Chain A
Amino acid sequence: MKTSMKSIGYLFVCLGFVACTTTSGYSEKTESKLNDANIAAIVVGANKIDISAAQIALGKSINGEIKEFAQRMATDHQAVLDSAVKLVTRLGVTPQNNDLVHALGKQSMEHEAKLKTLSGGAFDKVYIDHEVAYHEAVIGVIKDQLIPNATNGELKDMLVSVVPAFEAHLAHSKMVQGKI
């Protein structure tokens, strides 16, 4: 539980630090103000991360509620990902990684590595706790960072339209969390 909370705390740090001032540590230094290419990379990355975690859950969990939820995440986030890729391709926006994408990727790898060491109820608990925290954090980033910074109208509309999906997933994850 302690480790789980630490992991969730780190997730919030990862998703939150984009709001800070200029950051360094990567070759392509980015500023707190995100451009459309950064936003596209974050949307693509955020969906891929949740699909990947769902696939692990589908392979490891034997709990019906967890498997049903994981299947929903895999299906819905793939649909959002496909839609986002289609849009940015049409707009001619090439996703450009930034510090947030790198941090998300690193945190995701650590979370997945941990999931792979767990089984049974312990696996289910860590998976669903992380899903609740992840969706809460991503909703915050979309609303507070991505939507205000998007300059292309269609990209902004797409971001606005995916918020209800993440909110429905958050509500769903909390329902499942209450049963685990």
Chain B
Amino acid sequence: MGEYSPRIEKRWAEYAKFILMLCSLSVVSCVNSDVKKNLDRQPQVHEVEIKKFRFKPATLIIHTGDSVRWVNRDIVPHRVADSRRKKWESHDMGPKDAFSQTIRVSTSYVCLLHPSMKANIVILKD
């Protein structure tokens, strides 16, 4: 059994302080990295083509806050809306017309003028 030494105790205290500082730096670094990753990522715009009475792609995978731009390539009008018809709805898009919407949650959507036309947007988890 060794004797109590104030000098040894002080050294251990310094080690502990050093390790604590390293841990703190590591945590701050991780948090900063995540914040930076999110700040660096600009919202993207994804295009969905409406052609031959279909949405292409039928399933679109995006990040939350991205925008979707529907472009009507058919010769008849289309009107897109989320399936619950509560959150968003386009105007009647004529030929070559487009509509954009920021999407924050996964959703299915339809063409209100042609109910057989259905598609999905899936939000990718970061």
CB distance A171 to B115 under 8 Å?
yes
How big is the B interface, by class?
Answer: 10 to 19
Is A156 at the interface (CB under 8 A from chain B)?
no
Asked whether B116 lies within 8 Å of A172 as measured between CB atoms, the reply is: yes
Q: Which residues of A in the span 142-180 have a Cβ within 8 Å of any Cβ on B?
A: 161, 164-165, 167-169, 171-172, 175
Smallest Cβ-Cβ distance to B94: which chain A residue: A79
The 0/1 profile, CB within 8 Å of B marked 1, for residues 106-139 of chain A is: 0000000000000000000000000000000000
Q: Taking chain A's interface residues, is the majority helix, strand, or loop, or is none over half, making it mixed? A: helix
| In the complex, B16 has a CB within 8 A of chain A | no
Within 8 A of A (CB), among B88-126: 95, 113-117
Q: Give, as a whole number of angstroms, the nearest-CB distance from B54 to chain A.
A: 7
Contact B116 A165 (CB under 8 A): no
Nearest Cβ on chain B to A156's Cβ, whole angstroms: 15
Once A171-B116, A175-B115 are accepted as A-B contacts, the answer to whether A164 and B76 lie under 8 Å apart by CB is no
Q: Is A93 among interface residues, defined by CB-CB distance under 8 A?
A: no
Dominant SS among interface residues on chain B:
loop
Residues of the A chain whose Cβ atoms lie less than 8 Å from the Cβ of B116: 167-168, 171-172, 175
Query: 1/0 contact trace for B27-54 toward A, CB 8 Å?
Result: 0000000000000000000000000111
A73 to chain B, nearest CB (A): 11
Query: A50 within 8 Å of B by Cβ?
Result: no
The distance in angstroms between the C-alpha atoms of A168 and B74, with both chains bound, is: 13
Q: Output the nearest chain B residue to A167 by Cβ-Cβ distance.
A: B53
**Contact yes or no, B114 A172, CB < 8 A:** yes
B19 at the binding interface (Cβ < 8 Å): no
A76 at the interface (CB under 8 A from B): yes
CB pair B75 A168 closer than 8 Å: no
A171 to B116, CA, bound (A): 6
| Residues of A75-93 whose CB lies within 8 A of B | 75-76, 79-80, 83
> A96–B28 Cα gap in the complex (Å)?
79
A-B contact pairs, 14 of them (CB 8 A): A72-B113, A72-B114, A75-B76, A79-B77, A79-B95, A80-B75, A164-B53, A164-B54, A165-B53, A168-B114, A168-B117, A171-B115, A172-B115, A175-B115
